[in-house]
Amino acid sequence: MEENEMKRRTISQDIIILESKLAATDYQIIKTYENRLKNKQDPYDTDEIIAERQKLRDKINELQNDLDDLGI
């Protein structure tokens, strides 16, 4: 298998894993939003969740740029 193809596959797999981690926090964001609509306390540390989600998005974007550099 060509080296670039192996890199593409590895990067693509990493993106899928990170997107899964991002999706896993969707429930926490939705639950927090619902609680705020009901004037209830946040059930999670919202700042921490938002910061983690941003790190995941930044890494996904970085990897997508790497794929672009490989010619995808």
User: What does the pLDDT read at residue 47?
Assistant: 96
CA-CA distances (angstroms) from residue 60 to 14, 29, 43, 54, 72? 8, 19, 27, 10, 15
User: What does the pLDDT read at residue 1?
Assistant: 61
Token representation of residue 59: 């890494």
User: What does the pLDDT read at residue 22?
Assistant: 97
Q: How many domains does the chain have?
A: 1
Inter-residue contact 44 to 31 (CB < 8 Å)? yes
Q: CA 13, CA 38: separation in Å to the nearest integer?
A: 39
User: What does the pLDDT read at residue 71?
Assistant: 81
Inter-residue contact 60 to 19 (CB < 8 Å)? yes
Domain containing residue 51:
3-69
What pLDDT tens digit does each residue of the chain (72 aa) get? 688 899 999 999 999 999 999 999 999 999 999 999 999 999 999 999 999 999 999 999 999 999 999 885
